[in-house]
Amino acid sequence: MGGLLIKQALINAHNNLKYTPIKDATSGLAFFATPHNGGDWKLVSLGGLAAKIATSAGFQKGDDVLETLKAGSIFSDIMQEHWRHQLLRYDIISFWGSQDGVVPKESARLSLPGDRENVVKLNADHSTVCKFGDAQADKDNFELVQVNIFDIYNSALKNSELKPTPSAVPQKKDEEANETEDMLQKRFAKLGQRS
């Protein structure tokens, strides 16, 4: 449900000036088996998929969370309508699990042009699509995730050099910004050593 929550958070940031700097500073998103599309007749509705995920996460029938996520609920309809107006602002990676019985590929992708969305297949089911262990399949999945997130990171750096983003956070001096970039590079390198 994390993907649905981040979508709602960015919608809220769009509508609330206090949080607009967060939206403006966001240039890329990675979704892991997020049920974006529910309109196709062969697919379960967005709300139904989200409710299925919530049930597998331990929520009980009758919980407010499940009622909110139901097919045709005001929440799911409004979220889809508001979200579609923001889609082209972001570089998006949509990861999906080849063994996922909850969110099929058709629903895990936004169907954006290739320069806006990269759809990546992972050898995983719904509960393991963003978990990485010592098995070779997990290491392969981790490498795919790492490479794609690094691409979004590089794109964000490039875009930030082209246009300054207004921020509620005080701007760092050039020296501090370089230190931050060096630290991020080291963390990505460390992640690479893990695989």
Q: What does the pLDDT look like over 25-62, one tens digit per residue?
A: 899 999 999 887 643 333 345 555 555 666 665 555 55
Share of the chain above pLDDT 90, in %: 28
- Give the separation between CA 33 and CA 108, rounded to whole angstroms: 5
Higher pLDDT, 178 or 155: 155
Structure confidence at residue 80 as a pLDDT band (50, 70, 90):
confident
**What pLDDT sits at residue 149?**
95
How do residues 147-157 score in pLDDT, each as one tens digit? 999 999 999 98
Helix (H) or strand (E) holding 32: strand 28-32
Please give the angle made by the CA atoms of 155, 29 and 73, to the nearest 5 degrees.
155
Token pair in block for residue 47: 């709300």
Position with higher pLDDT, 115 vs 70: 115
Number of structural domains, the chain? 1
DSSP 3-state of 192: helix
State how far the Cα of 21 lies from the Cα of 51, in Å rounded to an integer. 31
- Inform me whether the pLDDT recorded for 106 exceeds 50: yes
Whole-angstrom Cα Rg for the chain: 18
Question: What is the band of 112 on the pLDDT scale with cuts at 50, 70, 90?
Answer: confident
Mean pLDDT of 126-145: 95
- Is the model's pLDDT at 68 over the cut of 70? no
38 Cβ contact partners less than 8 Å away, ≥ 6 residues apart: 44, 45, 46, 47, 48, 49, 71, 76, 107
**Residues 6+ positions from 147 with CB-CB distance below 8 Å:** none
Mean pLDDT of the chain: 77
pLDDT number for residue 159: 80
pTM flag (> 0.85): no
Q: Domain range spanning residue 39?
A: 2-194
Q: State the SS3 of 121-141.
A: EECCCHHHCCCCCCCHHHHHH
